[in-house]
Structure 1
Amino acid sequence: MRIAIVINTSWNIYNFRMSLVQALLQERHEVVAIAPPDAYSNYLIAAGCRYVPIQMENKGTSPLQDTLLVKRFYSIYKKVQPDIILQYTIKPNIYGTLAAKLAGIPTINNVSGLGTVFIVRNLVSKVALGLYRLAFRFPVKVFFQNHDDQALFVHYKLVKLCLTDVLPGSGIDTKKFVPAPVFSRNPAFTFLMIARVLYEKGVVEYVEASRIIKQKYPHVRCQLLGGLDEAGNIGIKKTTFMAWVTEGVMEYLGTTDDVAAVILKSDCVVLPSYREGTPKTLLEAAALGKPIIATNVPGCKETVIDGENGYLCEVRNATDLAAKMEQVYSLADDQLQQMGKASRRLAVTKFDEQFVIDKYLAVINTVATKAGKLK
């Protein structure tokens, strides 16, 4: 079968979906990657995909641009003629689905996170909900990354329950991501947050909590790894963020293609996000055997068994976040090690990527059988 995988960046496919791509290739399917061109597009070709570029703005809700995007999706889908399309992120999920319906091609959609659509209620979010309700009548399956997001879509009648299923996030390769062979605690205890520098990721709360911690324990290190993003009203201005860095509240690590290496050098991974699908970075941290502090919100709370592999903190509450950070810092070495081992067990038993791959292959085989294309 010819299977198209459609996401808003080639980077996203390469960093989050390559295990699924490789599994499809191993099943002797032809995989067509459809995404805007970036530095990772050639990596997809090298991995065995056929790559087809598409012009797509990740942000913005211009009716004219969105209509043109449906037209672009339709033109590509008719030209490529995939047997099934796997779609991720909001614009492929909505406009790609409408185009696929017009082209007569079945789709499997994945809601990997709700972003600002449910966090900020405004005219744009109302329009987005209406578009979801229109588009999500057509997929053969809609995967969610946590039960709360699934329930929310069903509650608002955006999708029928019978079309949905829940995945353990995007899964994690527990054979590739393994803990260090020997436990060690940094002389200067190190907290690490991995996220784009956005308000909704809880960066402000992390800065405030870091300030509280460092006033009490000056030697503690609080780091942030992730790209700056000043787009719209959701990104923190670079001047504001760099002022915090200059103040010494946190260390900014920029970006890297080797996130695992940075996680392994930390003692605890922190994510005070307002809402997530299921954060890949927390799955990586768990697989690498690190304690986790995350907000008690959909997507984040699934990665923490409170008191066992880390702590849950209140959302938008820097004081509570600081208290949880102090709890982890105060653990004896053996307790810290046990928390890390509990994270690793959770990754293996709940979030291994094979669970995700098996669910996708099952739906694809069902579609293939109905179309008479199963080999």
Structure 2
Amino acid sequence: MKVVLSANTSWYLYNFRKNTIKQLISGGHTVYIVAPIDDYSNILAKLGCHCVDVKLSGRGMNPLNEIQTIISFVKIYKKIRPDVIFNFTPKNNIYSTLAAYHLPTKIINNIAGLGTAFIGRSVSKSILMFLYKISQRRANRIFFQNTDDLKQFVNNKIASESQSRLIPGSGVDLNRFGLDERSVDGVTNFILIARLILEKGIPEYAKAATILKDKYGDKVHFSLAGFVDQDNPSAVPLELINKWHDDGVMRFLGKTDKVEDLLQDNDCVVLPSYYREGVPKSLLEAAAMGKIIVTTDNVGCREAVIDNETGYLCEPRSVLSLTCALEKVILMDHKAREEMGRAGRDYISRRFDEQIVINEYLSCL
């Protein structure tokens, strides 16, 4: 069987769907990666994938560019003649689906959060709603990572209830992200791992870190890790990130594929996001390793934590609420931290095992 996985980067498919790809290949299927060629395309090729380049613009909605993208998908699928297409990331869910509209191909789409365009009312939101509505009727199955997004699609008649199914985020590789209990060293280490855009709450994190560093000094450390995309209009300016680093507010660690190594050095993972998330994978991986979670009572984020049991929820965009939640972690004794960490590991093991997600995908073949 010819199986396509399509996303806006090969990086995404390697970091989020590698084990799915491995199981598809080991099951005898021919796997095609349809995504812009990047540094991870060769790595995917070494796994046994056939990588096909497709030109995708970032956040832009230039009509000519978008039409050219759809035409590119049409040409690719006419050549491959895939049996099943798994689409990930917004533009792929729309354009790849439209391109395969009249092919005898199963279309499986994944809504991993609705991003910034669905915050409030905007022209972008109206355009996206229209594009989703005309494209998703062709999908055989649409997977959602949280109930808020599923209800929005069903209530707005973008998807039917029979098409829609809820899955536990991207899942977590519980073998890779094993329980890690830190020893007592008198320091509370916090880290935020995310795409470095404003809607992830990074300025709020920096302000809270400044307040707590002033109060607790060297007893608290803050770190920031992630990719700086300066072409994104919502990107946190690199100059500001470097200033935080130079001023001692937080250490900037850049991007990494070894997230587990960063998590081992920290007690708590923070994500004060007001972005419409799916279920943030960074939080799931952290909780699987027994790290305390502090995140917002926001779409997608709230699914990753049991408030006061595996971590703490705070109000979106509120520096005061975030600071109070972080201070709760600072004031916990070591035994309480261990108990909360183990509760987080148990929660992830019950609900977010990656194999649950992979089995759902394999059932679509």
Query: Residue in 1 aligned with 2:264?
Result: 264
How far apart are 1:248 and its partner, in Å? 1.9
Structure 1 CA distance for aligned equivalents of residues 184 and 139 of structure 2? 48
SS at match of 1:102: coil
Query: Residue in 2 aligned with 1:122?
Result: 122
Structure 2 CA distance for aligned equivalents of residues 284 and 352 of structure 1? 10
Query: Residue in 2 aligned with 1:70?
Result: 70
How far apart are 1:186 and its partner, in Å? 4.0
SS at match of 2:298: coil
How far apart are 1:144 and its partner, in Å? 0.6
SS at match of 2:350: helix
Structure 1 CA distance for aligned equivalents of residues 233 and 30 of structure 2? 40
Does residue 334 of structure 1 match 2:335? yes
Contact residue 197 and residue 203 of structure 1 kept, 8 A: yes
Contact residue 304 and residue 310 of structure 1 kept, 8 A: yes
1:144-164, Cα deviation, whole Å (9 max, x unpaired):
111111111112222112110
Task: Summarize the Cα distance change of 1:186–1:72 in structure 2 as closer, same or farther, 3 Å threshold.
Answer: farther
Structure 2 CA distance for aligned equivalents of residues 141 and 31 of structure 1? 19
How far apart are 1:117 and its partner, in Å? 1.8
Does residue 313 of structure 1 match 2:336? no
User: What code does the residue aligned with 1:140 have?
Assistant: N
Stretches (4+) displaced over 6 A: none
Structure 2 CA distance for aligned equivalents of residues 323 and 24 of structure 1? 45
1:270-307, Cα deviation, whole Å (9 max, x unpaired):
01111310111111101111110110111111111111
Does residue 353 of structure 1 match 2:354? yes
Does residue 289 of structure 1 match 2:298? no
Structure 2 CA distance for aligned equivalents of residues 176 and 226 of structure 1? 20
Residue ranges of structure 1 left out of the alignment (5+ in a row): 365-375
Structure 2 CA distance for aligned equivalents of residues 20 and 42 of structure 1? 17
Aligned residues: 363
Contact residue 268 and residue 291 of structure 1 kept, 8 A: yes
Structure 2 CA distance for aligned equivalents of residues 57 and 120 of structure 1? 23
How far apart are 1:30 and its partner, in Å? 1.2
1:8-30, Cα deviation, whole Å (9 max, x unpaired):
10100100001111111122111
Contact residue 313 and residue 320 of structure 1 kept, 8 A: yes
Contact residue 171 and residue 356 of structure 1 kept, 8 A: yes
User: What code does the residue aligned with 1:27 have?
Assistant: G
Query: Residue in 1 aligned with 2:12?
Result: 12
SS at match of 1:319: helix
SS at match of 1:161: coil
Structure 1 CA distance for aligned equivalents of residues 140 and 215 of structure 2? 54
User: What code does the residue aligned with 1:196 have?
Assistant: R
User: What code does the residue aligned with 1:141 have?
Assistant: R
Structure 2 CA distance for aligned equivalents of residues 288 and 344 of structure 1? 6
User: Within 5 Å, which residues of 2 pair with 1:15-30?
Assistant: 15-30=15-30
SS at match of 1:138: coil
User: Within 5 Å, which residues of 2 pair with 1:208-247?
Assistant: 208-219=207-218, 220-247=220-247
How well do the aligned residues superpose, as a CA RMSD in angstroms? 1.2
How far apart are 1:218 and its partner, in Å? 1.1
Query: Residue in 1 aligned with 2:57?
Result: 57
Structure 1 CA distance for aligned equivalents of residues 322 and 362 of structure 2? 40
Contact residue 145 and residue 278 of structure 2 kept, 8 A: yes
Does residue 193 of structure 1 match 2:196? no
Structure 2 CA distance for aligned equivalents of residues 185 and 61 of structure 1? 51
Contact residue 241 and residue 252 of structure 2 kept, 8 A: no
Query: Residue in 1 aligned with 2:161?
Result: 161
How far apart are 1:246 and its partner, in Å? 2.3
Query: Residue in 1 aligned with 2:2?
Result: 2
Query: Residue in 2 aligned with 1:371?
Result: none
Query: Residue in 1 aligned with 2:108?
Result: 108
How far apart are 1:232 and its partner, in Å? 4.0
TM-score (norm 1): 0.94
Residue ranges of structure 2 left out of the alignment (5+ in a row): none
SS at match of 2:102: helix
Structure 1 CA distance for aligned equivalents of residues 174 and 355 of structure 2? 9
Contact residue 186 and residue 266 of structure 1 kept, 8 A: no
Give the stretch that moved more between structures: 284-293 or 97-106.
97-106
How far apart are 1:237 and its partner, in Å? 1.6
How far apart are 1:258 and its partner, in Å? 0.6
Does residue 202 of structure 1 match 2:215? no
Query: Residue in 2 aligned with 1:34?
Result: 34
TM-score (norm 2): 0.97
Q: Percent identity?
A: 41
